[in-house]
Structure 1
Amino acid sequence: MADDKEAAEALIAELQKNIKDAFAVFDHESNNSVDVREIGTIIRSLGCCPSEGELHELLAEVEEEEPTGYIQLDKFLPMMTRVLLERKYRPQPEDVILRAFEVLDQTKKGYLTQEELTKYLTEEGEPFTQEEMEEMLSAAVDPEKNIIFYKDFAAVMTIDDT
């Protein structure tokens, strides 16, 4: 029983170290606070993929009563530790992502054009912002052919969850 408790404590310590390290990257003033606009990036860097709605729920949980535009580490750390322990907001597996791209590729050519992908991701569902779209395209587009080979990109989008 003591081994289980030690293992759990070690896991929590490792998770909290990772959270603090990710937080510190954006703590430019070294005052244990970051701009609220950076929280999504921090959460995603820790392997979580919440929707924008879920991200806003997380922010509401850690924001001060009177929003200051900054999130404090002492509020973020316990919330993010819980999220990681509960394995919330896990990324979709590669086969699910690939099937989604295949649905968009109605002619079954094995790729999408930038225009097609932009249309689907900015006009349907929870639309991507222009910045998100540019970031995705910079990673997805084959520079020689100027198209997205989605089978390769689906593999890049997944996180090895070992």
Structure 2
Amino acid sequence: MSGEKEAAEALVTDLQRKITEAFNVFDHENNQTVDVREVGTIIRSLGCCPTEGELHDMLAEVEEEEPTGSIRFEKFLPMMTKVLLERRYRPVTEDVLLRAFEVLDESKKGYLTRDELVKYMSEEGEPFTQEEMEEMISAAVDPDKSIVLYKDYILTMVIEDS
């Protein structure tokens, strides 16, 4: 049994190292805190894709009783370790993303126009913010043709499991 215990401890140590490294990137003042607005970016950099509602719940779990606008590492680490161990908020797979784009591509042309993408991302489901929209457009839209070749774009979105 000790082999399994050692493997589990090694996994936790590795996860906590990754969490610490990601947190430290945004701990600009080196005071073991990050701006609450950066936490979503940290969580996503660790391969988790919570919805805005789930992210809000996670923040509520680690925020102080008196919100200060910052999150302390000592609260973030155990919460994030648990999330990663339980494999919560996993990103969707390549085939699920492809099916979603194919549903939007009603005429089966293999791409969406820039205007179609903007319409879907701002009117359907959980609307993108202007900043998120601009980020997606710069990453997804071919600037010469003003289309999204979604089979190529999906490859940039999928996070490989390590």
Interval of TM-score (by shorter of Structure 1 and Structure 2):
over 0.9
Aligned pairs (5 A) from 1:43-62: 43-62=43-62
What SS does the corresponding residue of 1:126 show, helix, strand or coil? coil
Q: Where has structure 1 moved over 6 Å in runs of 4 or more?
A: none
Q: Distance in 1 between matches of 2:155 and 2:97?
A: 9
Q: Distance in 2 between matches of 1:117 and 1:145?
A: 14
What SS does the corresponding residue of 2:55 show, helix, strand or coil? helix
TM-score (norm 2): 0.98
Q: Which residue of 2 aligns with 1:156?
A: 156
The offset of 1:156, in angstroms, is 1.3
TM-score (norm 1): 0.98
What SS does the corresponding residue of 1:142 show, helix, strand or coil? coil
Q: Which residue of 2 aligns with 1:100?
A: 100
The offset of 1:160, in angstroms, is 1.0
Q: Which runs of 5+ in 1 are unaligned?
A: none
Q: Which runs of 5+ in 2 are unaligned?
A: none
The share of aligned pairs that are identical, in percent, is 72
Q: Which residue of 2 aligns with 1:111?
A: 111
| Alignment RMSD (CA, Å) | 0.7
The offset of 1:141, in angstroms, is 1.2
Q: Which residue of 2 aligns with 1:7?
A: 7
Count the aligned residue pairs. 162
Q: Distance in 1 between matches of 2:12 and 2:45?
A: 17
Q: Distance in 1 between matches of 2:106 and 2:33?
A: 46
The offset of 1:144, in angstroms, is 2.8
